[in-house]
Chain A
Amino acid sequence: MPSWKPDPTFYTSPRMAMQAPPEKLGYVAIFNVAGKKPDAMGVVDLDPKSSTYGTLVGRTEMPNTGDELHHFSWNACSSALCPYAPHPHVERRYLVVPGIRSSRIHILDVKADPHQPKLVKVIEPGDLAKRAGYSRPHTLHCGPEGIYGSALGAPSGEGPGGIFLMDHNDFGVLGQWEMDRGPQRLAYDFAWHLGHDTQITSEWGTPNMIEDGVVPELLLGGKYGHALHVWDLRRRKHVQSIDLGAEHQMVLELRQARDPTKTYGFVGVVVSTKDLTGSVWLWHKEKNGSYAVRKVIEIPPEPAEPDQLPPLLKGFKAVPPIITDINLSLDDRFLYVSCWATGELRQYDVSDPLKPKHVGSVHIGGIVRRTPHPKSGKVNGGPQMVELSRDGRRIYFTNSLYKAWDEQFYPEGIKGWMVKVDVDPKGGMKLDPNFFLETVAGERPHQIRLQGGDSSSDTYCYP
């Protein structure tokens, strides 16, 4: 039933959203490593005044096993205020939670009891395949006229991957989004410049290229994704491919400028096969209307003894940073970069997006260093899915990447944890010594969403 006033968690602009009250709860996707027991949506207490601060205070299990919960989104968010499809009287109420392995999409209602999300609907993989021709749903975003999702490939496990649309009222899969995909075959993330009717998409690999782990021959042969694609968001048409070069393997997380009048954004590249660096690139619109990219951050590998390294890396005698996630504050000022294999979260001041300044670092985990948290001994895994509060003052992150790939970088088995970082508004950050959440043995956490929205959940139509 539509409400009388807009959902109070919808904000017209990113700057307005920065004034939102601090989050009290977080939702974190948790998967069962052996796939023998169901995955779960965990509910984390984020209120520092609470006696259960930093612990799991709720948990909703999925009805099946082997889903591998990964990324998820809200059913509706600030983009509902967009002027061309205005419908602000829906509620931010449901979490849309796909299993990247099973292709099942779960709808959880958090309204009645935010601590115990209630499963209200399951969209079976056959529905997604039949209506959209896609499989392995990955990223989801609440868009102006419905929910957009990216999928890694077709039900066969081959390409093409792409975008599907879902209705934000009944969660039916509406179909494949692309009218003309041009040369695009690989898919991963997507981002919008809503003020410019532009969508950017990135590339990982087809399900067959990733589901049994990273394939060294494909990686060294430059076969994983290394391009960005620019789309006309209204005509659903591919307009431009931008190749970063085949050595830049796996062009993953996209974070567009939060200000919708701007036409730039950042994308993280996992690894260069030439020198094992990780990099962040800036895409930006040029005067002639086409988009260009340029590398603005390069993070070097760290030398290591072969006996400290997993089989995949022994030959290189170094740990590459492995940039698996990035995030951008709502004022477009700070960019956060996860270096999953070296165990570092970096903060860059990107006030000048062409010249990021490295202003802060937090170390935890890492293949070689295993840096402990103040509340723990040495830990493994490293900063991975990173989420930022709307006011930009608190960061939360988890340490698992993707089951099949976890085992290759951390063969001893990642022990799951989630931590919190406090950010100095002027730059700089430090771990909250009181926040160290360990998942139970056999489970690992992935993406985090914050109650009421976070820095990557919403897109805005007004500057």
Chain B
Amino acid sequence: MSEPVWTWAALVGLGAFHGINPAMGWLFAVALGLQEKRAGAVFAALVPLGLGHALSVAFVVVALALLVPVVRPDILNIAAALLLVGLGIWRLTARHRARVGMRVGFGGLTWWSFLMATGHGAGAMLLPVLLRMKMGEAGHGAYHGGHFANADDLEMALLAVGVHTAAMLAVAGGVAFAVFRWVGVAFLRRGWINLDLVWACALILAGLGSVAARL
């Protein structure tokens, strides 16, 4: 791991931020546990929830790994910033859809988690961090100038997905079990602050911040 510690810490931190949002799945896991009246159902749900989240983030990370060698860093940076700000503004007005219901299997839950992560721009939110990782390489002369990404880049990309998702799952799983076993969903009536609003602002700030960092 040649990346500075802060990049890994940022990936973990964003994983925790995603994990704590009920819209990323911990609440679904709790609901399934309550429906079936057993803690096992809570944990069983975390597997597809994590998988769907990882797939969504991997989509962005791999796309970036493929783009870095062929697109000029400054253009990539601006495109990422525009994407983030656009997503943030869209999240402020997004409609709520139900793509699955309570009788959901492994595939359905994976799909739901993938869609929720993608629709919320979970992977995109990592772009400022990932770009710094890639930009760092470019700074060392690793900008491949028209060649496809090499195996090291992809490996690093997948490691980033793994670290982020592990952090997301650790937090989501911890919250889900605590709510299922001790806290109870009633606390949501007061405690469920509007994380979607925080999320939208985080996307916009990440976009603006990544531009500012380059100025």
| Residues on A facing B (Cβ under 8 Å) | 2-6, 8, 10-13, 16, 81-89, 144-146, 167-169, 194-197, 233-234, 260-261, 461-463
Contact = CB atoms under 8 A, between A and B. Distances in A.
A16 B97 contact: no
A226 B141 CA distance: 78
7 closest A-B pairs by beta carbon, nearest first, are: A197-B101, A145-B98, A83-B28, A85-B98, A83-B31, A87-B96, A12-B185
A4 B197 contact: yes
Interface in B30-51: 30-31, 34-35, 37
B184 to A, nearest CB: 8
B102 interface: yes
Contacts of A81: 185, 188, 192
B2 interface: no
Interface in B89-121: 95-104, 112
A83 B30 contact: yes
B35 A234 contact: no
Residue with the greatest number of chain B CB neighbours at <10 A, chosen from A85, A86, A146, A195: A86
- B: contact size bracket: 20 to 34
Contact of B31 (A10, A88, A197, A461): A461
Interface of B: 22-23, 27-28, 30-31, 34-35, 37, 95-104, 112, 185-186, 188-190, 192-194, 196-197
Contacts of A197: 101-103
Contact of B194 (A2, A82, A85, A461): A2
B102 A195 contact: yes
B104 to A, nearest CB: 7
Contacts of B103: 196-197, 234
B39 to A, nearest CB: 15
Given A83-B27, A462-B31, A5 B96 contact: no
A5 to B, nearest CB: 6
A2 B196 contact: yes
Given A16-B189, A169-B95, A261-B35, A5 B194 contact: yes
Contacts, number: 93
B27 A86 contact: yes
A234 B100 contact: yes
Given A260-B35, A463-B35, A84 B28 contact: yes
Nearest to B36: A261
B100 A12 contact: no
B189 to A, nearest CB: 6
A6 B35 contact: no
A6 B102 contact: no
A195 B188 contact: no
A413 to B, nearest CB: 46
Nearest to A194: B102
If over half of A's interface residues share one DSSP class (helix, strand or loop), that class is named, otherwise mixed; here it is: loop
Contacts of A11: 189
Contacts of A87: 96, 196
Nearest to A146: B96
Given A84-B28, A85-B97, A461-B102, A13 B185 contact: yes
Contacts of B97: 85, 145
B98 A84 contact: yes
B22 A86 contact: yes
27 contacts: A2-B194, A4-B194, A6-B189, A8-B189, A12-B185, A16-B189, A82-B31, A83-B22, A83-B30, A84-B28, A84-B98, A84-B99, A84-B101, A84-B102, A87-B96, A87-B196, A88-B188, A144-B98, A146-B96, A167-B95, A196-B103, A197-B101, A197-B102, A234-B101, A461-B102, A462-B31, A463-B34
A82 B189 CA distance: 12
Residue with the greatest number of chain A CB neighbours at <10 A, chosen from B101, B186, B190: B101
B34 to A, nearest CB: 6
Nearest to A90: B96
A195 B97 CA distance: 17
A233 B190 CA distance: 29
Contacts of A4: 193-194, 197
Contacts of A195: 35, 102
Contact of B193 (A5, A83, A462): A5
A223 B132 CA distance: 72
B192 A88 contact: yes
Contacts of A146: 96
Given A5-B192, A12-B186, A83-B30, A89 B102 contact: no
Contacts of A8: 189
Contacts of A194: 101-102
Nearest to A6: B192
Given A144-B98, A145-B96, A197-B103, A3 B189 contact: no
Given A167-B95, A169-B95, A197-B102, A3 B194 contact: yes
A124 to B, nearest CB: 22
A89 B203 CA distance: 19
Contacts of A169: 95
Nearest to B31: A83
A145 B101 CA distance: 11
Contacts of A144: 98
Contacts of A89: 194, 196-197
